[in-house]
């Protein structure tokens, strides 16, 4: 079942087209990454689906229904860093968050602090918190009202490595606890580590979407050469499992599905066709290269 269905959404700021007919589905229980370089439209899209901005065109459905106060109650959002009071404790800050947003109630505060592992520090002043703890408190605020879905814009931005690790771990735990999570990120590595599904945006256009394992497939690459590389290129067209064979920088490159490269087999295959190899190296195609390809073509 789809938690969120985005249908053909467009949005311009004056003559800047921030989103151009974007459509995708967020499955229930996903950790869904909206991935793209800065300026690709991620914040605009998240702002539209939480009703902060209005789309020029297109629709979106939450839980198969048009957005309404009832659907909004099921969605916790963290689009901007909240302004917490430095001299107040985590608990008192969340009391203020609760009274401003009207989401949840005071008795829930300990529950959300427990979820983000700040219960023991609930009486410490905000100013004594690490960056990761501050962001965890912000997520606790978004958890008030027991939302089914959390929408987070670049949740690890500006954090130190420890804070980044804490937040990524927390996101996975919240997912296990039953929340569907939709998060923007400009980091391929983050989406790969944290997310189950992804939609990749480039300049407001959806490039691709699906399960992370399908979209960000990492091919095996075997680089070989022989005295006659053109002949080599030819015979490899019929090698079982070849997805692509190209001649690059005087070497033949074979792309195969992840984990399927068998160099001995390739060597034996070529030999059986009368070609002796003078070079054979397995290379890993970096996912970054794939992302770069996707976002720069």
Closer of 34 and 113 to ligand ADP (Cβ): 34
Contact 56, 129 (CB under 8 A): no
- Shortest Å, Cβ 43 to ligand ADP: 3
**CB neighbours (10 Å) of residue 10?**
17
Contact 166, 92 (CB under 8 A): no
Closer of 109 and 195 to ligand ADP (Cβ): 195
Dist. CA 246–CA 98, nearest whole Å: 59
Dist. CA 197–CA 48, nearest whole Å: 20
> Site residues for ligand ADP, window 33-72 (CB under 6 A)?
36, 38-44
**Binding track over 111-150 against ligand ADP, x by CB under 6 A:** ----------------------------------------
- Shortest Å, Cβ 155 to ligand ADP: 13
Closer of 60 and 91 to ligand ADP (Cβ): 60
Task: List Cα–Cα distances, 9 to 6, 24, 59, 288, in angstroms.
Answer: 7, 10, 6, 28
- Shortest Å, Cβ 18 to ligand ADP: 4
- Shortest Å, Cβ 184 to ligand ADP: 6
Q: Which two tokens stand for residue 179?
A: 């929340």
Q: How many CA atoms are closer than 13 Å to the CA of 111, on its beta-carbon side? A: 12
Dist. CA 20–CA 205, nearest whole Å: 5
- Shortest Å, Cβ 203 to ligand ADP: 8
Dist. CA 117–CA 255, nearest whole Å: 45
Window contacting ligand ADP (CB under 6 A); options: 31-39, 99-107, 132-140, 265-273? 31-39
Q: How many residues bind ligand ADP (CB under 6 A)?
A: 11
Q: Is 281 in the site for ligand ADP (CB under 6 A)?
A: no
Q: Which residues bind ligand ADP (CB under 6 A)?
A: 13, 16, 18, 36, 38-44
């Amino acid at each position: 079942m789809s938690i969120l269905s985005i249908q053909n959404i467009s949005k311009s700021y004056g003559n800047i087209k921030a989103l151009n007919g974007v459509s995708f589905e967020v499955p229930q229980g996903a950790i869904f990454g909206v991935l793209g370089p800065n300026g690709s439209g991620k914040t605009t899209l998240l702002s539209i689906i939480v009703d902060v901005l209005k789309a020029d065109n297109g629709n979106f459905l939450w839980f198969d229904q048009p957005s309404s106060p009832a659907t909004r109650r099921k969605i916790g959002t963290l689009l901007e860093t909240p302004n917490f009071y430095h001299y107040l404790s985590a608990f008192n800050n969340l009391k203020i968050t609760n009274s401003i947003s009207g989401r949840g109630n005071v008795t829930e505060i300990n529950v959300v602090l427990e979820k983000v592992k700040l219960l023991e520090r609930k009486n410490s002043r905000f100013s004594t918190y690490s960056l990761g703890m501050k962001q965890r408190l912000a997520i606790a605020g978004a958890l008030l009202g027991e939302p089914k879905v959390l929408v987070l814009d670049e949740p690890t931005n500006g954090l130190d490595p420890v804070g980044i690790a804490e937040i990524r771990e927390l996101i996975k735990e919240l997912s296990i606890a039953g929340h569907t999570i939709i998060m923007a990120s400009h980091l391929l590595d983050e989406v790969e580590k944290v997310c189950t599904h992804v939609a990749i945006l480039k300049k407001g256009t959806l490039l691709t979407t699906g399960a992370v394992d399908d979209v960000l497939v990492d091919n095996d690459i075997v680089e070989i050469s022989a005295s006659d590389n053109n002949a080599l290129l030819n015979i490899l067209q019929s090698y079982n499992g070849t997805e692509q064979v190209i001649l690059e920088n005087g070497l033949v490159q074979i792309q195969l599905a992840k984990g399927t490269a068998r160099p001995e087999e390739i060597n034996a295959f070529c030999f059986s066709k009368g070609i002796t190899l003078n070079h054979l190296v397995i290379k890993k195609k970096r996912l970054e290269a794939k992302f770069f390809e996707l976002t720069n073509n």
